[in-house]
């Protein structure tokens, strides 16, 4: 019977940016932790799993694969012998081995400081050798922090947790015996540090963000990781825009465009062009801003929308591009086009992206206000507080609501509706 490529395993490896050699190392590390003897998987072993030549690994390798990935062996696309046509239910996965620390932040979705303060590794349970399993574990924690950010928004407890993760990654880097693992740990440390920077950028606490990004860029360079380098330049562009340094915002976004990953990946290129468009719009270079926006749209049409994105870019897609379009169109003086783009963004946003929905709703209210539709703008802006009910309003969103109040007063200084909005919402949007 013809061999069938194992797409499930390939997808997991792609989502975790893991090569065949690195997966083999991780499996061997897990076997060593379980048995006291290193495993014998090689790059060739993984290629055989991917090609379908070997559809049912050895028992120790199956257990190790489940420990490394956190998924059952059949979820990874493997098929028991004798059942090649119909995949059977997976045998029960073994208990999670604490020696490889695949522990997640319990309760992180609640967004409490206690949730993010959970230590990254159990005391006294660190493995004797540092390997790819440590990289995977730490990446899982980065993902947990990103999920918490999506739920709660940026805050200082998240910043502290991310910096603790970076510190652990750098400590493990000193113990690593291979250059490949050292570089990957530098990349994870960069990711944690960039996450710390983003958490306080979103919270509107900008003083330390630049220092975190400088450190993240240094670590990304040491890792020789273009993905991380682009992530840092993207955040640098966002920070510069919040500070009102639009020339730096454009320069940082253009640096993101020049990264290897942006030249290779249309989706990354789209984000870099979109970020450039925002900076140019605020710099009053309207024509260049709209050209960059067009390039972002063209690049996205070339992207494989089914391909997995790295965790830090999970927010970017058609909905986010519509949201950025709304910002650019409003800044260049086209509020009607901004309103249309905001509606498209809201229609495309997944329900789970509550903060993004609230941010886009603020942008919609501004576009309506800038068209002179005061009553509709005030009604729309009130929806923001309903969307964010029960959660703190992040600093960036408070600033946008402050912009709305300022423009509302400018356009209707004596109108009852403006004073009513201020009386009703000032405390809600201005309180951290």
pLDDT tens-digit series, residues 201-243: 888 788 889 999 999 999 999 999 999 999 999 999 999 999 9
Under 8 Å between Cβ of 303 and 313: no
Q: How far apart are CA 21 and CA 335, in angstroms?
A: 52
- Supply the pLDDT for residue 97: 38
* Mean pLDDT, range 344-365, rounded to an integer: 91
- Supply the pLDDT for residue 427: 67
Under 8 Å between Cβ of 228 and 219: yes
pLDDT band at 334 (very low <50, low <70, confident <90, very high): very high
390-432, pLDDT tens digit by residue?
777 888 888 889 899 899 988 877 778 888 888 777 666 555 5
Residue of 19, 176, 265 lying closest to 256 (CA atoms): 265
At which residue do the structure tokens 């783009």 appear? 341
Q: How far apart are CA 200 and CA 174, in angstroms?
A: 28
pLDDT band at 105 (very low <50, low <70, confident <90, very high): very low
Under 8 Å between Cβ of 359 and 397: yes
Under 8 Å between Cβ of 428 and 385: yes
58-74, pLDDT tens digit by residue?
888 888 888 788 788 88
Higher-pLDDT residue of 140, 86: 140
Residue of 321, 256, 253, 242 lying closest to 288 (CA atoms): 253
- Supply the pLDDT for residue 286: 96
Q: How far apart are CA 61 and CA 10, in angstroms?
A: 17
- Supply the pLDDT for residue 99: 33
Under 8 Å between Cβ of 57 and 49: yes
* Positive or negative torsion for Cα 380, 392, 394, 305: negative
Under 8 Å between Cβ of 289 and 328: yes
Q: How far apart are CA 256 and CA 269, in angstroms?
A: 8
Asked if the model's pLDDT at residue 245 lies above 90, the reply is yes
Q: Considering the chain, what is the average pLDDT of its residues?
A: 83
């Amino acid at each position: 019977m013809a061999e069938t490529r194992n797409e499930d395993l390939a997808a997991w490896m792609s989502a975790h940016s893991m090569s065949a050699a690195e997966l083999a190392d991780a499996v061997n590390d897990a076997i060593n932790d379980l048995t006291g003897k290193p495993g014998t998987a090689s790059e060739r072993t993984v290629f055989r799993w991917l090609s379908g030549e070997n559809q049912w690994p050895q028992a120790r390798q199956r257990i190790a694969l489940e420990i490394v990935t956190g998924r059952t062996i059949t979820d990874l696309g493997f098929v028991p012998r004798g059942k090649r046509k119909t995949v059977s239910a997976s045998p029960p996965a073994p208990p999670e081995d604490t020696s490889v620390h695949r522990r997640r932040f319990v309760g992180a979705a609640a967004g409490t400081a206690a949730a993010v303060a959970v230590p990254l590794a159990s005391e006294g349970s660190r493995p004797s050798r540092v390997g790819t399993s440590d990289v995977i574990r730490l990446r899982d924690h980065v993902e947990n922090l990103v999920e918490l950010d999506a739920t709660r928004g940026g805050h200082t407890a998240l910043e502290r947790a991310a910096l603790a993760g970076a510190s652990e990654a750098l400590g493990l880097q000193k113990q690593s015996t291979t250059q490949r693992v050292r570089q990957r740990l530098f990349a994870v440390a960069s990711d944690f540090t960039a996450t710390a920077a983003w958490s306080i950028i979103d919270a509107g606490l900008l003083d330390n963000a630049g220092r975190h990004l400088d450190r993240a860029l240094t670590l990304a360079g040491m890792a020789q990781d273009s993905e991380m380098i682009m992530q840092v330049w993207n955040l640098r562009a966002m920070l510069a825009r919040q500070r009102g340094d639009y020339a730096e915002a454009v320069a940082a976004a253009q640096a993101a465009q020049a990264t290897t990953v942006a030249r290779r990946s249309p989706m990354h290129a789209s984000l870099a062009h979109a970020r450039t468009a925002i900076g140019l719009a605020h710099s009053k270079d309207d024509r260049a801003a709209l050209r960059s926006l067009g390039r972002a749209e063209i690049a996205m049409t070339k992207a494989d929308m089914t391909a997995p994105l790295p965790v830090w870019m999970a927010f970017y897609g058609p909905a986010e591009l519509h949201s950025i379009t709304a910002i650019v169109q409003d800044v260049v003086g086209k509020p009607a086009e901004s309103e249309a783009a905001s509606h498209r963004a809201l229609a495309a946003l997944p329900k789970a992206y509550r903060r993004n929905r609230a941010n886009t709703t603020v942008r919609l209210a501004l576009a309506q206000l800038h068209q002179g539709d005061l009553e509709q703008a005030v009604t729309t802006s009130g929806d923001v507080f309903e969307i964010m009910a029960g959660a703190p309003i992040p600093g960036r969103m408070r600033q946008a609501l402050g912009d709305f109040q300022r423009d509302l007063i400018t356009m209707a200084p004596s109108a009852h509706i403006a004073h009513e909005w201020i009386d009703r919402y000032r405390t809600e949007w201005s309180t951290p």
